[in-house]
Structure 1
Amino acid sequence: MDFTVKTNKGAYDIEAYVRFIGQDVLVAISGGEKPHIGAVSVAQPRPSLRDPEVTSATASVICLLGHKEDALAKSISEVLAAKLNTQVVVTAGIHWDNLTKEGIQTVVQNSRSLLDMILEKIITGSQK
């Protein structure tokens, strides 16, 4: 299953292309005036340190010089790896010139919405 989801808030919208490689998941998140690859995160599921009955995830991140997408890529890859119990790679590259604090908050909110859309499509098998 390959699919694309995109936020539609009207400001600072971002999109994700999702591709399954076997059971593993590859996600490319982009947006803004200059989409690119700014960070890459690789996550794998593991038992939670607090409760081994719960699946958590751990991730490694490479962030390219001058980019700030590392936290976004890491958090999304960890959530997907834990919820889907599979290995996940997330690339992220989002850029708007002169982004304000409010703009950054909107991008963060949009990234949460994007994650929810990805999970909904995968878990329900929805092709909306």
Structure 2
Amino acid sequence: MKKISLKVGEGKHHVCLHTVFCGKDAILSIAGGDVPHIGAVAVAVPRKSLTGDGSHSASVSVICIAGHKEDELARSIALRLSALWFCNVTVSAGIHINDVEKEDIVILRKNIEELVENIIDKVKDEMH
């Protein structure tokens, strides 16, 4: 199994991405902040797009732990990577900052997007 770990940000804004490739499929864990945890898990399955243009899409199922808000984050990343890599993708996400403020959310979103772009760049030529 191939494993890739990436990190972006410092202090309470750090976010880690651990990826394990199981054959063609991918498992991603995204955690960070003051209290890394599991807040939501999304499993995406690739399919041909319903547009009929030959492009790829994906369907996703999400489980969110009560009181957590990482469901949309896990969902969007799983959908994007499953369609892009045309494989099953599981994303676990859990990021918590104590006494979070709006600026913290903006920084975390930027750091998470950078992580996703970095993993895409790292495996670009390997997934086909």
In 2, Cα distance between equivalents of 1:110 and 1:59: 23
Report the Cα offset of residue 58 of structure 1.
Answer: 1.4
Contact 2:12 2:33 in 1 (8 A): no
Contact 2:12 2:32 in 1 (8 A): no
Q: SS of the counterpart of 1:28?
A: strand
Aligned to 1:120: 121
In 1, Cα distance between equivalents of 2:33 and 2:89: 24
Aligned to 1:34: 35
Give percent identity, aligned residues only: 40
**Matching of residue 5 in structure 1 with residue 6 in structure 2:** yes
Gaps of 5+ in 2: none
Cα RMSD (Å) of the superposition?
1.5
In 2, Cα distance between equivalents of 1:76 and 1:10: 23
Aligned to 1:25: 26
Provide Cα deviations, 1:43-67, integer angstroms capped at 9, x if missing partner.
0111112234000111110000110
Contact 2:12 2:34 in 1 (8 A): no
State the TM-score, normalizing by the size of structure 1: 0.91
Report the Cα offset of residue 22 of structure 1.
Answer: 1.3
Q: 1:50 to 1:31 in 2, by over 3 A?
A: same
Aligned to 2:89: 88
Report the Cα offset of residue 10 of structure 1.
Answer: 6.4
Contact 2:46 2:82 in 1 (8 A): yes
Aligned to 2:66: 65
In 2, Cα distance between equivalents of 1:108 and 1:35: 15
Q: SS of the counterpart of 2:66?
A: coil
Aligned to 2:44: 43
In 2, Cα distance between equivalents of 1:9 and 1:31: 10
State the TM-score, normalizing by the size of structure 2: 0.91
Provide Cα deviations, 1:67-99, integer angstroms capped at 9, x if missing partner.
000011001111110110000000001000111
Provide Cα deviations, 1:6-63, integer angstroms capped at 9, x if missing partner.
1136661211100011111000000011111110000011111223400011111000
Number of aligned positions between the proteins: 125
Gaps of 5+ in 1: none
In 1, Cα distance between equivalents of 2:14 and 2:51: 36
Aligned to 1:56: 57
